[in-house]
Amino acid sequence: MQLDQLKHIAQEIISLAKQAGASGAEAEVSFGTGQTVSVRQGETENIEYNRDKGCSVTVYFGQQKGYASTSDLNPQALKESVAAACNIAKYTAQDAFCGLADADLMATEMPDLSLHHPWHIDVDQALAIAQRCEASALAIDDRITNSEGASVYTQSGAFAYANSHGFLGGYPSSRHSISCSVIAEHAGAMQRDYWYSSARDATDLLSPEQVGMMAGERTVKRLGAKPIKTGQYPVLFEAALASGLIGNLLSAISGGNLYRKSSFLLDSLHTQIASPLLHIDEDPFVLKGAGSSAFDSEGVACQRRTLVEDGRLLGYVLGSYSARKLGMQTTGNAGGTHNIRVRSTGQDFNQLLQTMGTGLLVTEMLGHGLNMVTGDYSRGAAGYWVENGLIVHPLEEITIASNLKDMLNMIVAIGNDTIPHNAKQTGSILIERMTVAAGGD
The string of DSSP codes covering 33-62 is: EEEEEEEETTEEEEEEEEEEEEEEEEEEET
Q: How far apart are CA 310 and CA 345, in angstroms?
A: 12
The tens digit of pLDDT for each residue in 225-278 reads 999 999 999 999 999 999 999 999 999 999 999 999 999 999 999 999 999 999
Q: What parts of the chain have a pLDDT lower than 70?
A: 439-441
Distance separating the N- and C-terminal Cα atoms of the chain? 62
User: In a 10 Å sphere around its CB, with 0-12 CB exposed, 13-18 middle and 19+ buried, how is residue 267 labelled?
Assistant: exposed
Q: Are 376 and 370 in contact (CB under 8 A)?
A: yes
φ, ψ at 159 (rounded to 5°): -145, 160
Same domain, 154 and 235: no
What is the model's pTM?
0.94
Looking at 172, 190, 221, the residue that finishes a domain is 221
Q: Is 284 helix (H, G, I), strand (E, B) or coil?
A: coil
Angle among Cα 99, 104, 109 to the nearest 5 degrees reads 115
Residues 115 and 239 in one domain: no
Residues 38 and 155 in one domain: yes
Any domain includes 387: yes
Crossing angle for the helix pair 75-91 and 3-19, to the nearest 10 degrees: 40
135 and 240 together in one domain: no
Residues 239, 99 share a domain:
no
| Distance (Å, whole) CA 284 – CA 281 | 10
CATH code (residue 188)? 3.30.2290.10
Please report the pLDDT score of residue 440 as a whole number.
Answer: 46
Residues 11 and 29 in one domain: yes
- Asked if 408 contacts 274 with a C-beta cutoff of 8 angstroms, the reply is yes
- Torsion angle (degrees, nearest 10) of CA 61, 63, 68, 74: 30
Whether residue 406 lies inside any domain: the answer is yes
228-to-20, 191, 381, 436 alpha-carbon distances in Å: 68, 19, 13, 9
Neighbours of 177 (CB within 10 A): 18
Are residues 213 and 352 both part of a single domain? no
Evaluate whether 314 touches 307 at the Cβ level (below 8 Å). yes
The Cα 157–Cα 138 span in angstroms is 34
Give the whole-angstrom CA distance, residue 92 versus residue 63. 9
**How far, in Å, CA of 434 to CA of 12, rounded?**
56
Question: Are 188 and 95 found together in one domain?
Answer: yes
Residue of 207, 131, 198, 181 lying closest to 364 (CA atoms): 181
Please tell me the number of Cα atoms within 13 Å of 243 on its side-chain side. 17
Q: Measuring CA to CA, which residue among 140, 133, 160, 145 is closest to residue 73?
A: 160
Residue 198 in domain: yes
> Has residue 339 been placed in a domain?
no
413: helix, strand or coil? strand
My answer on whether 51 and 70 are in the same domain is yes
171 lies in a domain?
A: yes
Which pLDDT value is given to residue 441? 46
How many CB atoms sit inside 10 A of residue 95's CB? 15
CA atoms within a 13 Å half-sphere pointing along the CA-CB vector of 340: 25
Q: Is 59 in the same domain as 162?
A: yes
Domain coverage including residue 125: 3-221
